[in-house]
Amino acid sequence: MRDQLERLIQEMLDRGVHYEDARREFERIFITRALQRSKGSVHDAAELLGLHRNTVARKMAEYRIRRA
């Protein structure tokens, strides 16, 4: 996984992707996938992510993520 991440980061830098844009996109996708895996349960997604459920709910609002 580390090698894949290294390649992805290199590609993003080559394309001029800014850190903040990459971080936001990663966070949005990571939360979305955790919600899909937990069948829309914010509590279960928060546990998967190691975050408090209020943090996940706040991020969902920030990124306009809906439950699966």
The answer to whether the CB of 65 falls within 8 A of the CB of 56 is: no
Number of neighbours of residue 12 by Cβ within 10 angstroms? 15
Q: Residue 68: is its pLDDT beyond 80?
A: no
pTM of the shown model: 0.87
Q: What is the pLDDT of residues 24-42, one digit of tens each?
A: 999 999 999 999 999 999 9
Inter-CA distances, 22 with 25, 26, 56, Å: 5, 6, 18
Check pLDDT > 90 for residue 67.
no
What is the predicted pLDDT for the residue at 32?
98
Q: Which fold has domain 18-68?
A: Arc Repressor Mutant, subunit A (1.10.10)
> Around 55, how many Cα atoms within 13 Å sit in the side-chain half-sphere?
11
